Amino acid sequence: MTLNQIAFIVLSCLALFGAVGVVFFNTPVRSAMALVVNFFTLGLVYFMLGSELIGITQIMVYAGAIMVLFLFVIMILKSTNDTDKPQLGERRFIFSLLGAGVVFTMIYRYVIMPTMERTNVQFTRTYGTPQEIGKTLFTQYAWPFEIVSMLLLVGIVGSIMLAKRRF
Amino acid sequence: MIPILTHLPFAAVFDEIPLGWFLTLSLVMFTLGAVGVVVRRNPVVVFMCIELMLNAVNLTFLAFAAYPTQMVALSNPGEAAITGQMVVIFVMAIAAAEVAVGLGIIMAIFRLRNEADVDDMNTMRG
Amino acid sequence: MVAEFFLRLNAENPLLLGLIRVLFVVIAILSLVPPLIWWERRLLSWMQDRIGPNRSGTITFPDNFPLKGLAGKKVRTFGLIQPLLDGLKLFLKEDITPNSVDRKIYFIAPAIALFPAFALGATLPWGPSTGLYGILTPVADVEIGILYVLAISSLGAYGIVLAGYASNNKYSMMGALRASAQLISYELAMAMSVAAIIMATGSMKLTQVVSAQEEPLWGVVPWAHNWFILTPFGLISAIIFLIAVIAETNRAPFDLPEAENELIAGYHTEYSSMKFAVFFMGEYAAMFIFSGVFATLFLGGYNILPIDWSYLAAATGNGFFKMLAGANYWLAPLVFLGKCFMGITFFIWLRATLPRLRYDQLMDLGWKSMLPIAVANFIVVGLWIICTTLYGAGGGWIAAIAAMILFVILYLNILNTSRKANPAAPSRTITMVKSPAKTETP
């Protein structure tokens, strides 16, 4: 067990704690906090993968902005009902777990098992720096970038319309 | 350009951690998110579960970017890595737009019905 | 000798050296927060024509004291130990937890509030990047330094939001809502103003930002440093960044989350004893670190004056300038601390001067003034970079200033048309007779 492996295991345990918390905590605020933990540790996992910029963007956009928005909405709606706790005996809970289990085992067996040994790919590790990503984003991916900016604009207009209109 | 990670304790990540570990983490997160979407009734929480699934997919993209597997990718690993990260950036941008619109919709529903449960939203049922 | 020790440590045990770097930052913050509180109280009382805490810590030696020099004398500390005593009081007070709070979140919230304040210091260089300080200064000199600061500061809302939520108190909840809305609004303007600096620097490393400010002033004056606050676009960025920082640390005039005459004490109404002290400390630590960020981004970091001493020494052959260059190197941490101190003094000055904003004024300022100006500034920087590469330094400045004038004319025109279209609305004076505009104040 090397230092890297220990670091990865600790991070992934935290991330999984967050993921479990999102699904099984009974108040929305706690779920949101669990999701923040998940997103934050996921950002650190991205660092381990060498994607510095994506990792910090993950923390800034997801953990910093999107989740604050979620918390804001939860509080403004005062949707703090505790009745939403998933019932273990419920039919859909059992069937969703069954289905998820089947898909999980199949993907694990046929996709992930073969990659368990895959390590040691040597190539330049500067691919995650802002310089590299910026260069590619504004040359090769300029069109998708523009389209996404249009999409964000549409999103802004749409959310303002939704918020303004009185039903 | 200097290798950026050499000064950090996890400089040798790619030699010590197999690709499968990252993929497993992502798969477990995705499964939990899918279960959550089915099980939970509060629309905000359902929405959070969708975000969880999106992030699991992002992690998969980044893992495959860092460990190229196909022959094409192996011939030019730097290119593959950049492509994977580009996809993640676009997913993030789209997720941000989705959250803005989705939370707007949830707010509108709450304003309309004063209480929201995804099971009760069946007025459009034929 | 010290330098050799750290150089050897760097070669042999980089992890231990990393811990030492972290300790430098943390100890600096922890040991400077109590004097800061004292300084704030003294300065505020001076500005408000009061005396403030000046008694505690005064020792009167008896006449028969063995040391002859001290016998019968008073040693004054001007109340410097007052914050220590306050801290002791907070430690020893009864820790009240209300009955109906959400217990787990209630206990975690202060810790979450403290975390970003300390984590922010990780990428700040408090000394030159060469020699001894080069090994010691930034805890991690990562490629994404500025983004790290933005990301961690955006986590600052959680402590407040969770505290407000967990307290199960209407006023706390309102404080939390205000804090989250305020943070989202001002984060944008802050990021845009910083983006202008990133573009002008060409890197996100904070050490690079500082070394970009050591270039010749405006690209033409060789003996001066190009501190960003001295450039036109940098000045605008600096003003926007400063306002956003004050909003982000919830200081007056942006202290709506804890407005004591509307919300009792806002999000920390239900907190007492140590937990309250932790919130308090988090606020001051954030102030301290954000002053450091401001100094690094706009005030040339650890350099004492925007003058290139070594250039002057080389040009004139004067030994005095050489000595000053050495002093500039070795006094760097003190200079940096001094700049942080100046920033905090500015914060306190603002608190004593400006009244609190109303909620709609806060939102107007953030979305209608600061964000458009920051975006316009961003465009100006882009034009400056293009024209500098095409036509050299002079062409770049002409283009930048022309674009700025254009934007100002455009802005005034828009303002005029909106005034004409709706003559009653834009008056910003507070009339106490009429109730304020109907906005949804959560």
Placement of tokens 């802002």 in the chain: A130
For residue C225, list its beta bridge partners: C216
Tokens of B123: 């007025």
Q: Residue A103 corresponds to which tokens in the numbers above? A: 């898909």
Q: What pLDDT is stored for residue B9 in this prediction?
A: 42
Whole-number mean pLDDT of chain C? Answer: 81
pLDDT, mean of residues C350-373 = 84
Determine the Cα–Cα distance for residues C287 and C343; give it in Å rounded to an integer: 8
- The answer on A148 and A108 residing in a single domain is no
* B10: confidence class by pLDDT, cuts 50, 70, 90: very low
Number of structural domains in chain B: 1
ipTM of the complex in this document = 0.84
Q: Residue B4: its pLDDT value, please?
A: 39
Tokens of B15: 């030699």
Res. C204: pLDDT tops 80: yes
CB atoms within 10 A of CB C70: 13
State the nearest Cα–Cα gap between C103 and chain B, in angstroms: 21
Task: Give tens-digit pLDDT for A28-84.
Answer: 888 888 999 999 999 888 888 878 888 888 888 888 888 888 888 888 777 555 555
Quick check: A111 pLDDT over 80? no
pLDDT at residue C88 is higher than 80: yes
Q: Identify all chain A residues contacting B45, using CB atoms and an 8 Å cutoff.
A: 22, 28, 31, 84
Same domain, A76 and A54: yes
Omega within 30 of 0 (cis) for the link into C253: yes
Per residue in B12-42, pLDDT tens? 566 677 788 888 889 889 888 888 888 887 8
- Looking at the partner chain, which of C148, C158, C176 has a beta carbon nearest the beta carbon of A75? C176
Q: pLDDT at residue C436 above 60?
A: no
Checking if the pLDDT of A107 tops 60, the result is: yes
pLDDT at B2: 33
* Same-domain status, A115 and A49: yes
Query: Are residues A30 and C150, on separate chains, in Cβ contact within 8 Å?
Result: no
State if pTM tops 0.80: yes
Domain with A72 in it:
3-128
Are A55 and A114 within one domain?
Answer: yes
User: What is the residue whose two structure tokens read 């063995």?
Assistant: C66
Beta strands in C52-129 (DSSP E): 59-60, 74-75
Contacts of B92 in chain C (CB under 8 A): none
Nearest to C234 by CA among C204, C192, C207, C197: C197
CATH of the domain at B54: 1.10.287.3510
CATH number, domain containing residue A79:
1.20.120.1200
CB pairs under 8 A between B and C: 4
What per-residue confidence (pLDDT) applies to B66?
Answer: 78
CB contact under 8 A, C15 and B9: yes
Residues of C in contact with B9 (CB under 8 A): 15
**How large is the average pLDDT for residues C222-248?**
86
Q: Which helix (H) or strand (E) holds C225?
A: strand C221-225
What's phi and psi for C300, nearest 5 deg? 70, 20
Tell me the shortest Cα–Cα distance from C232 to chain A, in angstroms: 26
Q: What are phi and psi of C59, to 5 degrees?
A: -110, 125
The answer on A134 and A121 residing in a single domain is no
- H helix runs in C155-231, sequence order: 156-166, 170-201, 206-212
Q: Model confidence at A116, in pLDDT bands (50, 70, 90)?
A: confident
How far, in Å, CA of A50 to CA of A31, rounded?
29
- Option in B3, B39, B116 nearest A125 (CB): B3
Query: Do A144 and A98 share a domain, yes or no?
Result: no
Q: Averaged over C373-396, what is the pLDDT?
A: 82
Which string of DSSP letters, residue by residue, matches chain A? Answer: --HHHHHHHHHHHHHHHHHHHHHH-SSHHHHHHHHHHHHHHHHHHHHHTT-HHHHHHIIIIIIIIIHHHHHHHHHHHT---GGGSPPTT-HHHHHHHHHHHHHHHHHIIIIIGGGTT-------S-TTSHHHHHHHHHHTTHHHHHHHHHHHHHHHHHHHHHHH---
On whether residue B34 sits in a domain, the answer given is yes
Query: According to the model, what pLDDT value does residue A38 have?
Result: 92
Say what percent of chain B tops pLDDT 90.
Answer: 8
CA distance C202 to C223: 22
Q: What's the number of domains chain A is made of?
A: 2
pLDDT tens for each residue of C37-79: 888 888 888 888 888 787 777 777 777 777 777 777 777 777 7
Which of residues 129 through 148 in chain C touch B, CB cutoff 8 A? Answer: 140, 143
Asked whether residue B33 is assigned to any structural domain, the reply reads yes
Determine the structural domain holding residue B58 and report its residue range. Answer: 18-113
Contact call for residues A28 and B45 (beta carbons, < 8 A): yes
Least confident of A150-154, C140-144, C346-350, C420-424: C420-424
Are both A100 and A146 inside the same structural domain?
no
On whether residue B64 sits in a domain, the answer given is: yes
Residue B99: alpha-carbon gap to chain centroid:
13
Contact status of C440 with chain B (Cβ, < 8 Å): no
More confident residue, C385 or C396: C385
Q: Do C105 and A33 touch (CB under 8 A)?
A: yes
Question: Are A17 and A98 in the same domain?
Answer: yes
One domain, residues A17 and A75: yes
pLDDT for the residue numbered B5: 42
- Please tell me which residue of chain C has the smallest CA distance to B7: C14
| A105 CB within 8 Å of a chain B CB | no
d(CA C299, CA C305): 9
Give the pLDDT score at B7.
43
Which residues, including other chains, have CB under 8 Å from residue B108's CB and lie 6 or more apart? Answer: A162, A163, A165, A167
Give phi and psi for A30, each to the nearest 5. Answer: -65, -40
pLDDT band at B8 (very low <50, low <70, confident <90, very high): very low
> What letter does residue C366 receive in the DSSP assignment?
I
Any idea where the domains of chain C sit in the sequence?
A: 93-373
Within a 13 Å sphere around the CA of C37, how many CA atoms are in the beta-carbon half? 22
